[in-house]
Structures are given as structure tokens and as C-alpha cells.
Structure 1
Amino acid sequence: MATPIHLSRRTLLSLAGLGAGAVALGGCGDSGSDSAGIEWWHIQNTDPMLPVWAAFAEEFQAQNEGVGITITPLENEAFKARLTTVTQAGDPPDIYHTWGGGVLRQQVEAGLCQDITDAVAPWRDILQSASTLPYEIDGRLYGVPFDIGMVGFWYNKTLFADAGITAPPQTWAEYLEVVGRLKSAGITPIALAGGEKWPGHYYWAYLAMRIGGVEALSQAAEDDNFTTPAFIGAGERLAELVALEPFQQGFLGASYGEPDGQAAAMGNGDAAMELMGQWAPAVQEEASGVEGGLGSDLGFFPFPAVDGGQGSASDAFGGGGGFAIGRDASPDAIRFLEFISQVDKQRRAVATGAFLPVTIGAEDAIEDPNLAAVADTLANASNFQLYLDQAYAPAVGQEVNDRVAELIAGQMTPEQVAEAVTVVAQR
């Protein structure tokens, strides 16, 4: 099992939505030449970033005659499944999305992606040093970041005010009180995409961090043991929340980015909170169809502290989005990553509201005050933990998502969840 990456994170997940097919852009040249074609898989398959990525590819082709880029935008879970299929066949795309961590380590050990340390060295200093850490394996670089961020609570200020809540909670006990007050006011406290499972693991991971500190998550990886007080306690506190029945109707089957899913419930004002990464405002607007989303009614606060916990309330949890280079890709693929990493391209991406910058000097493109708050919180984080379903080996990460989903559904106890994850880790 790979040790979780701690940054002193992490951008984040990307937008979820409907799957899309491959789009071949002009300028492909000789399709039989390895140097002429770049196959690029990404997960920004909805607005606002879908057209931005396409524009970058077109601009790169215009400047590099004979180099063509075939883009395959995929929804998050569909991407994971399809990438698993092609990597098992030993045929990864030339450029593909990666969150780094344990999944990337497995790809490196299988010889599926290129060591790009030396190729990126001439321009690596334009990137924030912390942003590249999830893509370093044994001191070598295997991916280039395009986003960095963290997970926290997004909330509807008007709904909080309607329930008489004047400030975001600072502790888990206060958070449970907020949930109770919202319910008493007839307001759905939390939107959750229970059908997709990964959003639920955010609660379990953050609670384990707050109880045991990031060191507890690292130690679990080293010992292949999740039956420790940090993880058992995380399950117990999550079970306390579930017992309050805080989620929207039908949450167990809900998606994240669909019109009837988690993000839409927030964007429509049908729920007061969601625990999600910095991309949340953009997906709320897209999924709900409400222009501008919640606008000034939307606020952000970090995950609360747990009374008596060893973890700091300033420890951040999240991840970054990056791109790895497939083992058979031509040098043109790395040149394309350099192209989209330039500060002018980063500013254009950041201006969509979907990303936080990884290129030094692009910070001035952050327009949304909530995203600026996320960036400030991340900048002042005392430590950083990568998403557990990426930090750990893929089988362990999937087990975390699946078993936590069962805990939220009332089908497993905290102890059973911890034991099940441990069993998979020790295989």
C-alpha cells in the first residue's frame, strides 16, 4: 500500500457530469505517425472547462503543424473504469488525468507512464512546489498538475439565517447542533450524492484526520490497519450525523452532477450544505441551471474540529488534478503540458471558477470571493492529506468508498467498516 501524501492540498476533483465521446481536433497529420497524434483523456466533461480544454488543444495544434490531438472527455467514474481497462491491456492514452498517490504509483510500477522529471525540469519552477507533490513517486515526477484545492463545507447563507444560525460551526458538536436547527426550521441540512459513494468518504476521512491527525492516516497505510481509534471514532461520529437524517430525500441513489443530484440540490436552494471541493460553485450552477448559482448567498467554511481530537482544525483534505504521460507518448505530449501550464493559460482556466491555480502568478485570476477563501485556507493549512481513494492503493480506496457508503446507509457499523478496509489492505 502506498503511503498517503501529506502537503503542508489539494485541488481537486474535477467537474462531474455526463459522459462524452472522443473529439478529434484538426491538424492530425499522418495518423500512423506516433509523433503526429496525441490521445488526451480528461474529466472536465461539462462547462465551464470542456470548451476551454478544447480551445487550448486547437491553439497548440495551430502552433505545431502536423500535431493532432484527439480528446476524450469522460465523467469521473466512467474515466476510472475505462482507464483501468486500457491500462490492464497495457495501452494507456498519451495524456490522461491523474490524482497522483497510490493509483499513480501502481501505474508507475506497471511501467504504464513516463518518468518526466528531466523533461519538465526546464520549466518546473513556474509551478507551485506543493502542487507537484502528489505526482512524485520515489523522488521522480510522473505528472503535471493543473489544479490544487481542498474539500470543505459550502453553505447557503440565507437558509442558515432562516434557521437562526449566525455563524458557521467551529466544532463537530456545533455542527450537529446546526443540523438539528436546520431540520427544526424545515430545511434539508445536507445534500449528498450517496449513489456515487466518493462524496461520503470525505466525512469519514476528515473525521479521522480531526481525531487522530494526518499521522493516523499515514500510520494506517504503513501498518495496513484501520481498526484504530481514529477510524473507529470517525465512523462513530459519522453514524451520529446519519442518525439525524440530515440528507435530502433519495440521497442514497443520488448522483453528484446530474440535475437531480447533490450539486443541483445546493444550486436550487433545496439543501443548506454540501461537503465538496473548490469546484462546487461551478457544478452547482451547471447542474441546477440557475445562472450564477447561489451567488452571494453561497459561503464556505472548513471542516470543524473534533473536541478532544489530536488533529488540527487547519489540516486540509483534498487533492489536485494533474496529467500523466502514457508510456508510448511522443515528446509532443509533454510539450502540450508545458503549453497549458503557462501563466496565461492558467489564468483562463482559473477565471472559469472551476480551478485554483498551480502556476505562480495566476492567483490574480481568482474572481470568486469563496474560491479566494478556499485558496487562503489552503495557503494557511498546517498539513495536507490527499483523498483516501487516491492516496491509498486502488483496491483500498474503493473499499473505503464502498464501506463508508454502507455505513451511511445504515448497513454496517463503524467497527465493521474499519475491519473490512483492513482486510483488503492486508491482502
Structure 2
Amino acid sequence: MMGDPALSRRGFLAASAAAGLGMTALSGCGGDSDGGSSGTTTIEWWNISTTQPTKDVWAGLARKFEAQHPNVKVKIVQFENDAYKAKMTALIASGKLPDIFHTWGGGVLKQQVDAGLVEDLTDRTKEWADGLLPVAKEPYLVDDRVYGIPFDIGMVGFWYNKALFRKAGIATPPTTWSGFLDAVRKLKSAGITPIALAGKEKWPGMYYWAYLAMRIGGADALEKAGDDKDFTGAAFVEAGKHLRELADLQPFQKGFLGAAYSTPTGQAATVGNGRAAMELMGQWAPVVQADSGKGLGKDLGFFPFPEVEGGKGALTEVFGGGGGHALRAGAPQEAVDFLKFFASATTDRELVEKTGVLPVVPAAEDALTDPNLQAVQRQLKGATGFQLYLDQAYAPALGQEINDSVGALVTGSRSPEQVTESITQTAKEEQ
């Protein structure tokens, strides 16, 4: 899940940043036999599920798969979100990926596919993958071919503390941007930190800019900008101005620029421990809040990103994505078997019940009982437009530039116009 995006949670680091990581993690990639008489095949599975309960649930699923396949050993390798992206950048440069690896799809996956590093799963998974939810499969299609299998789907929205909203005199969550800014002011007046933000990791701030651009220009504006390699349109400049308007209210927790997402002092914990009223995050937020902090229980609520008055975008246009798994080119059949196991109704129901993901297998939908996640699912089902995370929808360098530029906008070191110009320049350089 993107927080585990994680999920937070989205832009590859430059390859040079990963140059000093060493080769320990690179040497074990690729399924192999133990060379002995047992004929055991080891498949290496890289994922970013480092928070509980997901970490233990996934380890248990690996052991269950091994029990069903006695001649297969699953080697689990786990990283925090940003560390994972850095490691994968190094692996792409080496030309060798793990047997099974986490993917958000989009432009990042396409780059790996274009490099010939990812297995085409279209024919090897058709028998069972055709039954998965279509919207969940979209990010993993490249030229109408299947290169990844989803295990989660969802959207980004505001997760808020109902008790703190009541204390500030906010009766209902805001539905407009002006109403949202009013809510921020009320929270500050009540002595409450309105928003937690992981400023150190950049991608959580990108969510605000992306959603504002969607609400102002509509979901089509983001797609067109990516196709045209031009982000200098009015919708993107206005998005930056609105984000600066929010930042000028100083709504974030003290020290937010040094805060990570899922650490004990990070964004999720700040909300989970009741020290900030809300965060803009994906569907994994409740699990990470509870793992990093105490969790809010019944005081936790969810509302979609507000509309911008006069904008072309609708409240029903959503920004988000999910998590999936891809295979290295030439991966053994045992890796395909693991994807089938992970995408089964039995496994999906366990993931929904124990880890809070949204179901990708229709037969597992009855396992979704959490009211907040049901609200997210309803929003997804009623969506009139869908935009994948920008640092995954576009090529890695462009995604990273968006994250970095928006981060500079939040701190005031770049203007809204400079942000759009810098992003456009990077987009054109990638042509």
C-alpha cells in the first residue's frame, strides 16, 4: 500500500543517489535452485509493507504459500518507501530486478517495461486475472498488455479527527476550498494544529498540488499536460497559488520539514496521536496511524478533497492508485503461481480483514466492514475521473521533479510560476 505507500506512499531518486548503496541487495535477485537434490526454488519478493499488521500478515501468507508449494522458498526483502525507490533505481541500472517486486504502475512501470526488465503477464495470468476489478488493473497496463497484478486500489483524501473538529466548532467536513481554509483557521484559533505533513519526503505535499490542479482544470488537464509535456497552463499556476494560500496560514505541525511519513514522530503518528486534526493521505492511512501512533478509532473520519469554486473539476474526480506486483523478465513459473495465490479470493479477504486494503477481487467485497473504508470504496465506485499519483503516472525523473518543486513551493523558495516552468522543462527533457 502507497504509505506503505506508503504508502505513503510515489518518484524515483536519481541513480547517483543510490550509487553508494552497495551490492548486497543486488546479488540475491532472481529465482534459483538450491543446487541440491531437493530441487527447491527460491523466489525473492521485494515489498514496502514494513508497518504492522501488514508486515506479519504478508509474512504469514508467504509461509502459507510455501506450505502449499513444498519445493518453493519465498525470500522476503522489505524496504521503507523512499529506500525502496532508491534500491530499485540501482537495480534498473544493473539490469536485473527481483523475481517479484512492488509497483504502482504508470510511467515508472512503463520505463521498466521499455527497458525489457519486466515480464509480460498477459497470457500467463489471463485465466484468473480477468476476474479482478478493472479499475484496479488499469495502472499496470502498458500498450494493453498486463505487466502487474494489483493487490489494492484506493484514493487519496482527508483523514480527520472528529473530536478535534468538534472542539474547533466544525460541524461537518468542508466541501469547498474556501470552506477548507475556514476550517484550518478555526482549528488554529482553537489551539489545534490543523494538518500533519511529512515535509521531508516531498510526495505527501505533491498530493495537494495535484488535487488542486484537478479541481481547477479537471482530470483531463493532468492527462493533457502529461501528453503535451506542458504544465504551464492556468490550472497548474492557480493550483500553486492556492497551495501557497494554505501554506501561508502555517497549518502544519512544528518541524514538519524534517518529518517523515511513517516514523514514530512522523505525519501518520502526529494524526494518530491526536496532535494534528487531519492529513491528506491514501486509503492505508488508518493502518499506518495505528502502527506509528495510537490510532483514533471511532474518532477517525474521512472526506474527499474539496471542490475549488469556479473550477472545472468535480468532487467525484479522484486522485490515487493502489499497489501491485510485477515480475522480472524471465521469472520462473513459481513467481506467477505466487501472484495467483496473492490475488485469490481467500487471500484478498484476509488482506481486507486484517490489513485494511480495499478488495480487488469482487468475491472479497463482503469482508469490507470499516465505515471509513466503505466511504472510500463508495467514492471510488462513483468516480467520474481517476488520476494516478503523479510521481508514478509520469516517468521517474518527472515525478521526482514534481515532488521536489512542490516541496519548494510549500517552503516559499519557488513561486507557482517557477514550479510549473521547472516541471515543464523536465518533461521536455525526457522526450
Q: CA deviation at 1:329?
A: 1.2
Equivalences for 1:307-346 in 2 at 5 Å?
Answer: 307-346=309-348
**Alignment partners' CA distance in 1, 2:105 and 2:303:** 26
Structure 2: tracts of 5 or more residues without a match = 10-23, 26-30
Q: CA deviation at 1:11?
A: 10
Give the aligned partner of residue 15 of structure 2. Answer: none
**Alignment partners' CA distance in 2, 1:373 and 1:165:** 20
Partner SS, residue 426 of structure 1: helix
**Alignment partners' CA distance in 1, 2:160 and 2:72:** 45
Equivalences for 1:285-296 in 2 at 5 Å?
Answer: 285-288=290-293, 290=294, 293-296=295-298
Equivalences for 1:165-184 in 2 at 5 Å?
Answer: 165-184=170-189
Q: CA deviation at 1:188?
A: 0.4
**Alignment partners' CA distance in 2, 1:202 and 1:92:** 29
Q: CA deviation at 1:14?
A: 3.8
- Which of 341, 356, 363 is equivalent to 1:361? 363
Give the aligned partner of residue 19 of structure 2. Answer: none
**Alignment partners' CA distance in 2, 1:16 and 1:310:** 28
CA deviation profile, 1:341-365 (whole Å, cap 9, x unmatched): 1111101111124311101111111
**Alignment partners' CA distance in 1, 2:146 and 2:130:** 13
**Alignment partners' CA distance in 1, 2:96 and 2:227:** 31
**Alignment partners' CA distance in 1, 2:206 and 2:66:** 40
CA contact (8 A) 1:353 1:368 kept: no
- Which of 34, 39, 42 is equivalent to 1:31? 34
Give the aligned partner of residue 118 of structure 1. Answer: 123
Equivalences for 1:32-47 in 2 at 5 Å?
Answer: 32=35, 36-47=41-52
Partner SS, residue 264 of structure 2: coil
* Deviating more after overlay: 151-160 vs 346-355: 346-355
CA contact (8 A) 2:8 2:204 kept: no
* Deviating more after overlay: 172-181 vs 33-42: 33-42
**Alignment partners' CA distance in 1, 2:62 and 2:262:** 25
CA deviation profile, 1:153-212 (whole Å, cap 9, x unmatched): 011111111111101101001100000111111110000000010000000000000000
CA deviation profile, 1:231-252 (whole Å, cap 9, x unmatched): 1010000000000000000001
Q: Does 1:48 align with 2:53?
A: yes
Q: Does 1:282 align with 2:284?
A: no
Give the aligned partner of residue 242 of structure 1. Answer: 247
What is the percent sequence identity of the aligned residues? 55
Q: CA deviation at 1:223?
A: 1.0
**Alignment partners' CA distance in 1, 2:344 and 2:107:** 28
Task: Name the count of aligned residue pairs.
Answer: 407
CA contact (8 A) 1:151 1:278 kept: yes
Give the aligned partner of residue 267 of structure 1. Answer: 272
CA contact (8 A) 1:227 1:422 kept: yes
**Alignment partners' CA distance in 2, 1:329 and 1:362:** 28
Give the aligned partner of residue 301 of structure 1. Answer: 303
Q: AA paired with 2:345?
A: V
Partner SS, residue 321 of structure 1: strand
**Alignment partners' CA distance in 2, 1:409 and 1:95:** 38
CA contact (8 A) 1:11 1:320 kept: no
- Which of 156, 159, 163 is equivalent to 1:151? 156
Structure 1: tracts of 5 or more residues without a match = 1-9, 23-27
CA contact (8 A) 1:131 1:148 kept: yes
**Alignment partners' CA distance in 1, 2:133 and 2:251:** 38
CA deviation profile, 1:198-229 (whole Å, cap 9, x unmatched): 00000000000000011110111111111101
CA contact (8 A) 1:12 1:278 kept: no
**Alignment partners' CA distance in 2, 1:344 and 1:111:** 33
Q: CA deviation at 1:12?
A: 8.5
**Alignment partners' CA distance in 2, 1:115 and 1:322:** 14
- Which of 6, 13, 21 is equivalent to 2:5? 13
**Alignment partners' CA distance in 2, 1:14 and 1:326:** 22
Seen in structure 2, the aligned counterparts of structure 1 residues 185 and 69 have a Cα distance that, compared at 3 Å, is same
**Alignment partners' CA distance in 2, 1:305 and 1:77:** 30
Q: CA deviation at 1:367?
A: 2.5
Q: AA paired with 2:34?
A: S
Give the aligned partner of residue 374 of structure 1. Answer: 376
Q: CA deviation at 1:54?
A: 1.1
- Which of 93, 116, 132 is equivalent to 2:98? 93
**Alignment partners' CA distance in 2, 1:383 and 1:12:** 24
Q: AA paired with 2:45?
A: W
Q: CA deviation at 1:87?
A: 1.6
TM-score (norm 1): 0.92
Q: AA paired with 1:326?
A: R
CA RMSD of aligned residues (A): 1.8
**Alignment partners' CA distance in 2, 1:64 and 1:306:** 53
Give the aligned partner of residue 18 of structure 2. Answer: none
**Alignment partners' CA distance in 1, 2:4 and 2:80:** 15
Partner SS, residue 154 of structure 1: strand
Partner SS, residue 362 of structure 1: helix
